[in-house]
Amino acid sequence: MKRTAYLLTLLLIVTGCTKEPVAPLNIIPMPQSCQLQNKIFELSENPQFTVSADENTCKSIAEYICSLFPTANLAAEGELTLQILEQVENITSPEGYTIKTDGNGIKICSTSESGLFYALQTILQCIDNEGGVPYGTIIDEPRFAYRGMMLDVSRHFFDKDFVIKQIDAISRYKMNRLHLHLTDAAGWRIEIKKYPRLTQFAAWRHAETWKEWWNSGRKYVDEGSAEAYGGYYTQDDIREIVAYAAKRHVTIVPEIEMPAHSEEVLTAYPELSCTHEPYKQADFCIGNEKTFEFLENVLSEIIELFPSEYIHIGGDEAEKKSWPTCPLCQKRMREEGLKDVDELQSYLIHRIERFVNSKGRQIIGWDEILDGGLAPNATIMSWRGTEGGLTAVAAGHKAIMSPGTFCYLDQYQDAPHTLPEAIGGYLPLKKVYSYNPVPEEMSSENAKLIYGVQGNLWAEYIPTPEHMEMMAYPRILAIAEVGWSQPEVKCYDNFRNRAITAVEYLQKKGYNPFDLANETGNRPEADEQLQHLAIGKKVTYNENAPYHESYAASKETTLVDGIRGGWNNNDGIWQGFVKGGIDVVIDLDKEETITFIGADFMQICNPWIFMPCDVIISVSNDNKEYTQLTHIKHEVIKDDALTFKNFGWQGETKARYIRYEAKSSCEGGWLFTDEIVVK
């Protein structure tokens, strides 16, 4: 396309004066390279700027600048120059840019409009935080192509204006994907013309909060009913959101769940379930051709609304419990030669992928779509740890890394007793920031298939816009820097200071971020290195009560390493037990005088973690005959709190071996402990 120069004067004339910067560059994400001087180029009123690019880019960038600074005028030359080039030295990504600043002004170069846009975000943050742009050169481009945030708008509905508000925030910090979790059991949130009952019925429920609805029958009601809570986006709403996002270089990625998390669909249209009964099924019937007719019709309307290359199809947590007995599903398995229900799910994923590919698009799915065989062109979003993503990469597929231990922002970000109820866990800003999506041992070729990173905001326990923003910010800014900046330019202490500045900015703009400056921090016990008689001693686990491999912590050394756990059972310090409870023997090497034996347990009922109901502590000198010191019976009270309790014995005895037993109060309930302290 013919390149033209588009000239405008902005509300800002560069005065040309300089001053010393009050601090190092204070922006998020940190650029890849900064060679700066101790001078600032100040922009004040009525600056002139030029844009040299194709006509559409010129118009788009000029409109964006004018939206920030309304009184703009044309000029032949500008103090702020933006230029699209075929190539820019040291830049390999179309989202990359250079900024060169001296006494004559600021010059931005990129190979694309998105690069110019991101350069402007850097300049805007410099103006807000430094008063101007430092002299020197900034060379910057993203580490990953995909840098996303997911909003769960099913469990609690957040309206169009809220979504647009978040687009403003994440684009400032150079994030380029907003993934909308549009469908789930708690409510269908997008108008589909061909299936009006999805929004007339499946978008509305009888209880305002997800928790109340989940615990009281999980019923849906008709739109307009006195008890109806919910909502949905009209197709015009979606068009407005998509268009607004595009101007800020954010792509909206829609998610339509399948085959599971579909109770709302299968109650509105029960003929798509295996039993054809409302309120009975969560999974689509894959043996029923009407299922594919429905999904393809829905996806056709979705594809028409969203220009995103990727359509997210969910694929997670299918129970598959009706498929083994469903005549249609069993018939499908026989006809297609499928050996199990995992392959039956894979059949659906493959078939949906072919349909989506036929429309010129690609699918993303949660890592369960690996089960039974991955569809040829699918991209994996890895949430159950990193294994799914690494498996996909090893098979030649792209992966977006979103492991729950680093990227699930519905967890507590500070001491739980200081915050509104959350789903559990403890994920402070520091841990989010520490995540590296590319393992050190990964080859450079495979690393190219790590497409990006995403932070997820599941909303079961996030009922209000204010709460959603508090959970998102500033942790999503850590995801932004993980996705953009190379590891060698990252530093948490520096980032935390920059994040505090960002929190202040967001507060001024009407957001409700977490008050990072007054963070309480981790559980105090986690900061204490213990010394006691059992440190480093041998621990033997009863073969009928092993620790669970998913929560192995430091394995056999965990309970005697002197390290206590924090607020989160996922912190790699707490050790988890489920089948058989806890039954361990500690060998002190020799007979010792003992005055205390005890262990801390945590309880948080939502993820099925409970205090023990039964604790027995015994001692022995020969590891054969044991003397019971105490038998503690504990009544487990289920509540919403995260609590900690020590179960122990005090007195005086002599022994070499200590046996510690603990039982869960309910079948399938977890026990978590971090250290058995012996004094």
- CB atoms inside a 10 Å sphere around CB 15: 14
Token match 């007339």: residue? Answer: 200
Which are the contacts of 517, defined by CB distance < 8 A and separation ≥ 6?
Answer: 500, 503
Which are the contacts of 482, defined by CB distance < 8 A and separation ≥ 6?
Answer: 432, 433, 435, 436, 437, 453
Residue 475: which H helix or E strand, with range? Answer: helix 475-484
The catalytic residue positions are 184, 261, 317
Token match 């807000």: residue? Answer: 128
Q: Return the beta strands (E) in 42-194 as ranges.
A: 48-54, 80-84, 97-102, 105-110, 133-140, 146-152, 177-181
Token match 């600074």: residue? Answer: 69
Nearest to 494 by CA among 553, 429, 578: 429
Contact 353, 378 (CB under 8 A): yes
CA 319, CA 340: separation in Å to the nearest integer?
13
Nearest-10 crossing angle of helices 492-508, 113-130: 90
Residue 382: which H helix or E strand, with range? Answer: strand 379-382
CA 502, CA 518: separation in Å to the nearest integer?
14
Which are the contacts of 354, defined by CB distance < 8 A and separation ≥ 6?
Answer: none
Chain-centre distance of CA 154, in angstroms? 16
Nearest to 106 by CA among 137, 132, 140, 79: 79
DSSP result, 489-510 = G--HHHHHHHHHHHHHHHHHTT
Residue 252: which H helix or E strand, with range? Answer: strand 251-258
144: alpha, beta or left, given left = phi > 0 and alpha = psi -120 to 50? beta
